[in-house]
Amino acid sequence: MRGILDSRRISDDAIVITGIGVVTGFGIGYDALCAGLVAEKSCVRRLDGDGANRCRVRKGAFLERFNPSDYENTTHFGRLARGTQFSIMATDEAIKQACVPRALASDSQVGLVFASTRVALEKTQQFYGKILDKGPRLVNPLVFQETVNNAPASHICMRHGITGPSLTLTSGGTGGIQALAIASQWLGRGKVKSVVVTAADVADAPSQSAHGYARGHAPVELGGIEESCPFDRRRNGYVLGEAAVSLVLETWSSARNRGVDPRVALCGWGMAHDGCGPGRYHHDGLGMEASIRAAMEMASKGCGDIGWVLAGAQSSKVGDRSEARALRRVFSDRTPPVTALKSAVGEVESASAPLFIAAAVAAMRHEVLFRTLNHEEHDPDCELDLVKSTRRAYVDTVLANALWFGGGSASVVVQRWDDGCARGPSTTNAECSA
């Protein structure tokens, strides 16, 4: 994929996003996300229920009072996993917004890449619980089919008649950006005309309990702060969240020919791995640094071009510091404003980066930089220009990061569509690190 600034004009094969669908703790729909962020709200709430009672952590950023029948009153929809329901809802919104014709989907011209870390876990635990309780002959096959990780993608394909390629990624928190990269490659090779990228993870009770026992979830140290406060010296683990985000990608020429307005351009992406072993980050953020540099290089963006960074920071002691160090090495003293949105929406795992892109579009529209919540105590290990209160700003180009337990990291660069494509000149990565 060429950087869209290559020739100071828009190239036909520039990748653009023409549809966005969102479900978060703020509510159902992209507008609910915008309203929540603009109002500086948090989705983090106290959890109830049996699953939460077994768990020492009681907070999560989840969607309250969600009743599936309010969205679709069918037995089929009602029996799906919560994450599958969210995925379908977000995809419905994105496809509707992008006006993707069903005929295009059923003509194998639309692909789907779905990413999730643990959407299938809800039904897997339900199914396994029945095996232990009733024995293997009395379980429900309709539950088994929902334990398969690609079940949400298959439901989406059937619902929208998508007969092009369909993939499901389970790489963890970097999955959302990996999905965007694969979608871009499909478009670049002309395999399809549009790709729906949907990413979802949910804070259902079994998942919540699993994270609690993993001891990464706040409070890691009992008695410490239970809020998500990325880059804050008091940070004490992440708060699990839930979200589904769907983005429709196509080339600029495809969008133009269909008469659809792009919401934002996808300019570049990069992925790397720390290689430190399961559950670990590199303490200095080497992988994160590599993925940021790769994304900026593909986007033909220099340090001065990045107007805002949406950090992957989740309020973990090592992860936040790793990302801060990576950003400092790339940007040196010219670190752009940085916001850690997980302070408001929780750790939404695979959906994180797609959610950041949706938030970036909202920030471009409202001309604000959303703030990092709960930040009170400066951490000298995280020297960044952290956005602690909402700032008015014209946002042109945004870098979004994802990093994940086990060492995976990924970055993506997006740029506003209206007039940003004609902007220049860029500084170079070599200038950044000098």
Partner 1 sequence: MDRVLVTGLGTVNPLGLTVATSFAAMLEGTDGIRKIDAFDVSSYDCANGGCVPAVAAASLSVRENQVAGRDSQFLLCAAEDAFAEAGLASISQEERGRIGLYTGTTLGGLALGETFYRQLMNNPSAVRTRPLLAMSLHAANDLTMSKLALGGDSVVFSTACSASAHAIGCAFDTIRAGHAKIALAGGFETFSEVTYTGFSILRSMTSDKIRPFDRKRSGLVLGEGATVLVLEEYEHALARGAQPYAEIIGYGSTSDAYHMTAPHPQGDGAARAISLALADGGIAPADVDYVTAHGTATPANDVAETRALKRSLGDLASSIPVSSIKSMIGHTLGAAGAMGALAAILAIRRSAIPPTINYEEPDPECDLDYVPNEGRDLRIRVALANSFGFGGNNCVLAFRGVGA
User: Which one, 90 or 182, has the nearer CB to partner 1?
Assistant: 182
Element of type H or E holding 414: strand 408-416
DSSP code per residue over 279-340: T---TT-HHHHHHHHHHHHHTT--GGG--EEE----S-HHHHHHHHHHHHHHHTT-PPEEE-
User: Which one, 279 or 425, has the nearer CB to partner 1?
Assistant: 279
- 11 contacts 2 by C-beta, under 8 angstroms: yes
In a 3-state reduction of DSSP, which class is residue 245?
strand
Considering the complex, what minimum distance in angstroms separates the CB of residue 29 from partner 1?
25
User: Which one, 174 or 352, has the nearer CB to partner 1?
Assistant: 174
Tokens 């890691």 belong to 220
Considering the complex, what minimum distance in angstroms separates the CB of residue 307 from partner 1?
26
User: Which one, 28 or 192, has the nearer CB to partner 1?
Assistant: 192
Q: Which amino acid is at 165?
A: P
Considering the complex, what minimum distance in angstroms separates the CB of residue 194 from partner 1?
14
User: Which one, 224 or 279, has the nearer CB to partner 1?
Assistant: 279
From 235, 243, 185, select the one nearest 359 (Cα to Cα).
Answer: 243
Pairing of strands 194-201, 166-169: unpaired
Considering the complex, what minimum distance in angstroms separates the CB of residue 12 from partner 1?
17
Which residues in 334-345 are b (16+ Cβ under 10 Å) and which e?
ebbbbbbbbbbb
Q: Which amino acid is at 229?
A: C
User: Which one, 188 or 425, has the nearer CB to partner 1?
Assistant: 188
- 88 contacts 170 by C-beta, under 8 angstroms: no
Q: What is d(CA 326, CA 295) in angstroms, rounded to the nearest whole number? A: 13
User: Which one, 294 or 362, has the nearer CB to partner 1?
Assistant: 294
